[in-house]
């Protein structure tokens, strides 16, 4: 499974009223499909989530990688990736792709025990969703990256075109963003600019 360097955390709240599937498709098209998409809409039921994912699958380029947050049954049923929050129990079974959120050494150990394919590490910088909360910083990102060995790490939290190169220099494989794409006037252009700021 190819791990693209740009990941979109997708939910309906961040789209400014636009259909989530449309925003995801525009973002994916903006980078030629080289996008990881993690659907994290906690307010939707399983049937609605599956319907949304199938609608996206039909419209994005084939190389776009789709995942669902903390719904192992759905991930297995439609053969997509599964992302686990840091506090989630380890699910049974095999998954097309498995990732976890990691904030400290204990959570890194759990992720390694799960034999994850990637980890999302943060919060690196201050975010608009949590103004005033200081980010963990680049040194923290580097420290977690060292603990994760060869596992790909995605930096999350306040990532912009300007600071994305710094998290790569600190050891991240890629970046995970939400509002930077979801809330952008042009999700396609926003995804393109972020992707262009990363190693190709």
Nearest to 187 by CA among 20, 64, 51: 20
In terms of residues, how long is the chain?
A: 200
* 114 and 98 Cβ atoms separated by less than 8 Å: yes
Distance (Å, whole) CA 88 – CA 114: 11
Q: Tell me what the mean pLDDT of segment 171-196 comes to.
A: 97
Q: Tell me what the mean pLDDT of segment 4-29 comes to.
A: 96
Band of pLDDT at residue 42, cut at 50, 70 and 90 = confident
- Percent residues over pLDDT 70 in the chain: 97
Give the pLDDT of residue 136: 86
pLDDT tens digit sequence for 94-124: 999 999 999 999 999 999 999 999 999 989 9
pLDDT tens digit sequence for 138-151: 999 999 999 999 99
In the numeric block, the tokens 């999700």 are attached to 187
- 129 phi, psi to nearest 5 deg: -75, -20
| Position 62 pLDDT exceeds 70 | yes
Give the pLDDT of residue 133: 65
Instruction: Please tell me the least confidently modeled range out of 66-70, 77-81, 133-137, 155-159.
Output: 133-137
Distance (Å, whole) CA 70 – CA 82: 7
Torsion of CA 159, 163, 193, 37, to 10 degrees: -30
| Position 73 pLDDT exceeds 90 | yes
| Position 134 pLDDT exceeds 80 | no
Residue 97 in tokens = 């792709």
Distances, alpha carbon 56 to alpha carbons 16, 45, 70, 127, in Å:
18, 17, 18, 27
- 182 phi, psi to nearest 5 deg: -60, -40
**HEC-encoded secondary structure of the chain:** CCCCCEEEEECHHHHCCCCHHHHHHHHHHHCCCCCEEEECCCCCCHHHHHHHHHHHHHHCCCCCEEEEECCHHHHHHCCCEEEECCCCCCCCCCCCCEEEEECCHHHHHHHHHCCCCEEEECCCCCCCCCCCCCCCHHHHHHHHHHHCCCCEEEEECCCCCCCHHHHHHCCCCEEEECHHHHCCCCHHHHHHHHHHCCCC
Give the pLDDT of residue 129: 65
Band of pLDDT at residue 135, cut at 50, 70 and 90 = confident
pLDDT averaged over the chain? 95
Band of pLDDT at residue 126, cut at 50, 70 and 90 = confident
Band of pLDDT at residue 17, cut at 50, 70 and 90 = very high
């Amino acid at each position: 499974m190819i791990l693209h360097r740009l990941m979109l955390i997708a939910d309906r709240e961040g789209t400014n009223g636009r259909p989530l599937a449309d925003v995801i498709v525009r973002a994916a098209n903006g980078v030629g499909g080289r996008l990881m998409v993690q659907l994290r809409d906690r307010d939707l039921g399983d049937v609605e989530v599956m319907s949304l994912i199938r609608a996206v699958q039909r419209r994005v380029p084939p190389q776009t990688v789709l995942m669902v947050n903390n719904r192992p049954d759905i991930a297995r049923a439609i053969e997509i990736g599964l992302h686990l929050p840091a506090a989630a129990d380890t699910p049974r079974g095999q998954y097309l792709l498995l990732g976890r959120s990691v904030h400290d050494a204990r959570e890194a150990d759990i992720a390694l025990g799960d034999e994850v394919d990637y980890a999302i590490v943060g919060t690196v910088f201050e975010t608009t969703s949590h103004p005033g909360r200081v980010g963990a910083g680049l040194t923290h990102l580097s420290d977690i990256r060292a603990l994760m060995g060869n596992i790909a790490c995605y930096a999350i939290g306040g990532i912009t075109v300007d600071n994305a190169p710094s998290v790569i220099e600190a050891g991240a494989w890629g970046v995970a963003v939400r509002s930077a794409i979801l809330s952008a006037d042009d999700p396609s252009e926003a995804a393109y600019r972020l992707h262009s700021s990363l190693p190709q």
